[in-house]
């Protein structure tokens, strides 16, 4: 069984461990470089990207994590995790670290300019058996993507979507997957399964 870690510095750690446990992997929290070295894939949960960035320094995980990502470690980032994986984040603090594992520009707190949280029903490429119920909490969206990035989902047009309509909210680049929303909160492990398929293939 592959070992899939959840970066456990802050945020929705437990919920991701629960979702991964449904996917026939060994799910483990990761706080130390030795733990990072043992995983075959890593989930970066939602929470607060500024805090997580700071804790990556404190726990001496920043450089080891950058190195593993550079070596092709499969990773999945949700919300704040997506912000950290991105090459660049608009409206992030100037000293926030970027892991630069995804050739995208994200806009932090993008939905928050209108509302704090937002829900949508999305078609997600690679996920079968119907649309995904997506919960966005002070979420970023993806402002632009590079040539090697696959767009997996956008916010559908709807009367409540406003400025969010059409925005990119799920992407993949090689073994790195990211969603602006929180699949760990809806009891639907299909996004985690999609990630685990990548881990198994790697």
Is position 138 an interface residue for ligand GLN (rule: CB under 6 A)? yes
Look at residue 76 and give its three-state secondary structure. Answer: strand
Residue from 87, 109, 126, 186 binding ligand GLN (CB under 6 A): 109
88 known ligand binder: no
Is position 47 an interface residue for ligand GLN (rule: CB under 6 A)? yes
Pull the structure tokens for residue 8. Answer: 């456990």
Is position 80 an interface residue for ligand GLN (rule: CB under 6 A)? yes
- How far apart CA 182 and CA 45 sit, in angstroms, is 8
Neighbouring-strand partners of residue 76: 43, 177
200 known ligand binder: no
Query: What count of other Cβ atoms lies within 10 Å of the Cβ of residue 179?
Result: 29
- Smaller CB distance to ligand GLN: residue 40 or 143? 143
47 known ligand binder: yes
Is residue 119 annotated as part of the catalytic site, yes or no?
A: no
Is position 16 an interface residue for ligand GLN (rule: CB under 6 A)? no
- Smaller CB distance to ligand GLN: residue 25 or 82? 82
38 known ligand binder: no
Is residue 100 annotated as part of the catalytic site, yes or no?
A: no
Query: Which residues lie below 8 Å from residue 47, measured CB to CB, with a gap of 6+?
Result: 10, 11, 12, 79, 80
Is residue 184 annotated as part of the catalytic site, yes or no?
A: yes
Helical ranges in the chain per DSSP H = 13-21, 33-37, 49-58, 62-70, 80-85, 190-201
- Smaller CB distance to ligand GLN: residue 2 or 96? 96
Among 165, 146, 43, 163, CA closest to 86: 146
Is position 134 an interface residue for ligand GLN (rule: CB under 6 A)? no
Catalytic amino acids?
79, 182, 184
């Amino acid at each position: 069984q592959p070992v899939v870690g959840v970066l456990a510095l802050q945020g929705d750690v437990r919920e991701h461990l629960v979702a991964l446990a449904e996917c026939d992997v060994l799910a483990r929290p990761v706080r130390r470089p030795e733990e990072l070295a043992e995983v075959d894939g890593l989930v970066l949960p939602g929470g607060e990207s500024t805090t997580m960035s700071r804790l990556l320094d404190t726990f001496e995980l920043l450089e080891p994590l950058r190195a593993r990502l550079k070596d092709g470690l499969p990773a999945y980032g949700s919300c704040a995790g997506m912000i950290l994986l991105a090459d660049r984040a608009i409206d992030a603090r100037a000293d926030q670290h970027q892991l630069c594992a995804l050739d995208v520009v994200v806009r932090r707190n993008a939905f928050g300019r209108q509302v704090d949280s937002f829900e949508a029903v999305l078609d997600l490429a690679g996920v079968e058996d119907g649309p995904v119920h997506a919960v966005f909490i002070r979420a970023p969206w993806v402002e632009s993507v590079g040539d090697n990035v696959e767009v997996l989902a956008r916010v559908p047009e709807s009367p409540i979507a406003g400025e969010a309509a059409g925005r990119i909210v799920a992407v993949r680049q090689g073994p790195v997957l990211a969603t602006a929303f929180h699949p760990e909160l809806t009891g639907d492990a299909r996004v985690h399964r999609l990630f685990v398929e990548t881990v198994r293939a790697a």
